[in-house]
Amino acid sequence: MRVVVDHVSKTYTDRGGRSVDALRDVAFTVEAEEFVALLGPSGCGKSTLLNVIAGLLAPTRGGVWFDGARADGARGANARALSAMVFQEFALFPWRTAQKNIEFGLEEAGVPAAERATRARHYIELTGLAGFETRYPHQLSGGMRQRVGIARALAVEPAVLLMDEPFSALDAQTRQLMQEELLGIWDRTRKTILYVTHNIQEAVYMADRVIVLSRRPGEVLADVPIELERPRTEQMAGEPAFVQAAERIWGLIKAQAWAAIAE
Ligand SMILES: Nc1ncnc2c1ncn2[C@@H]1O[C@H](COP(=O)(O)OP(=O)(O)O)[C@@H](O)[C@H]1O
Ligand SMILES: [Mg+2]
């Protein structure tokens, strides 16, 4: 599914009536089956943008289109039906087993129990959770919990997977393994993925393109193609295409990072 973000701006108004510009005139396209990383500093509006794309939050200006159909604001039902979100905090129900967490969206959609179990089984296998179905979230490691988050999102069979810093709470080794696994899952399911991160290495390692956002209000600073073959391997981190892309992106956000430290 092709996702068009068409000049989206978002201004929040808090209870005191003060307004916060979170996004300014953000425009880009994610092609069907593409893996695009959205990179920007903390507080620049990344989660806001994902929520607008998911149809959960109305933009102040502009719109979002899924394969040519309006998917923002009042038409957000379109986006809600066609996308699924994986959150930074694992956002699992503590009183439900792994399998029951994975089945949650299917329950909401009114899918009968037998079919829920069959579909959950498929995504349990795909995400490497076999043997852990009956565990509760507190009985799972961070990596396993996020597998549940991914399986739950995939179980509703969305065309678009929206991922909000999904591995940022994991230790470095687990994060590396989960990145590799996600690329494997993407290869097998061919979803359109929009992956939010503030980690340059992670963005370059995984994505076809990296869209770099400025500090708040988030604006697109650059759309950087990553010219590395697939499947990606860890060794590619030493290749000129990797190093040059990472340096270019760091160059773009360096000045902004300095300004943030100086504040
Ligand atoms: N509901 C809200 N009301 C007012 N301001 C908000 C709200 N949600 C987020 N913000 C502000 O909008 C900006 C962008 O937030 P967010 O999208 O969460 O950024 P990021 O995900 O890039 O860290 C921040 O300054 C944040 O404080
Ligand atoms: Mg965020």
Q: What value does the mean pLDDT take over residues 11-15?
A: 92
Residue 125 lies in a domain: no
Rounded to the nearest angstrom, the distance between the alpha carbon of 258 and the centre of ligand 1 is 21
Residue 1 has pLDDT above 80, yes or no: yes
Rounded to the nearest angstrom, the distance between the alpha carbon of 194 and the centre of ligand 2 is 13
Atom of ligand 1 nearest to the CA of 23: 14
Domain span including residue 14: 3-90+160-262
Residue 151 lies in a domain: no
pTM: 0.95
* Residue of 8, 14, 48, 163 with the most ligand 1 atoms within 8 Å of its CB, for mutation: 48
Ligand nearest to the backbone CA of 45: 1
Q: Which run of H or E residues covers position 174?
A: helix 172-189
Rounded to the nearest angstrom, the distance between the alpha carbon of 16 and the centre of ligand 2 is 23
Mean pLDDT, the chain, rounded, equals 94
Whole-number pLDDT of residue 217: 94
Residue 103 has pLDDT above 90, yes or no: yes
Whole-number pLDDT of residue 77: 82
pLDDT single digits (tens) 75-95: 888 888 899 999 987 789 999
Whole-number pLDDT of residue 47: 96
Residue 128 lies in a domain: no
Ligand 1 atom 1 nearest Cα: 12
Rounded to the nearest angstrom, the distance between the alpha carbon of 240 and the centre of ligand 2 is 30
Which ranges in 21-157 belong to alpha helices (H)?
A: 46-53, 76-82, 98-102, 104-108, 113-126, 142-155
Rounded to the nearest angstrom, the distance between the alpha carbon of 116 and the centre of ligand 2 is 31
How many separate domains does the chain show? 1
pLDDT single digits (tens) 241-260: 999 999 999 999 887 777 77
What residues have CB less than 8 Å from 258, skipping those under 6 apart? none
Whole-number pLDDT of residue 137: 96
Residue 32 has pLDDT above 90, yes or no: yes
Residue 238 has pLDDT above 90, yes or no: yes
Q: How many CB atoms lie within 10 A of CB 91?
A: 16
Q: Compute the distance between CA of residue 220 and CA of residue 217 in angstroms, rounded to an integer.
A: 10
Residue 123 lies in a domain: no
pLDDT band, residue 10 (cuts 50/70/90): very high
pLDDT single digits (tens) 47-80: 999 999 999 999 999 999 999 999 988 788 888 8
pLDDT band, residue 186 (cuts 50/70/90): very high
CATH number at residue 23: 3.40.50.300
Query: Of residues 42 and 45, which shows the higher confidence score?
Result: 45
Whole-number pLDDT of residue 71: 92
Q: What value does the mean pLDDT take over residues 231-238?
A: 95
Residue 75 lies in a domain: yes
Whole-number pLDDT of residue 76: 80
Residue 206 lies in a domain: yes
Q: Which residues line ligand 1 (CB under 6 A)?
A: 12, 14, 20, 22, 40, 42-48, 216
pLDDT single digits (tens) 110-136: 999 999 999 999 999 999 999 999 999
Ligand nearest to the backbone CA of 165: 2
pLDDT single digits (tens) 206-224: 999 999 999 999 999 999 9
Residue 96 lies in a domain: no
Crossing angle (nearest 10°) for helices 113-126 and 172-189: 120
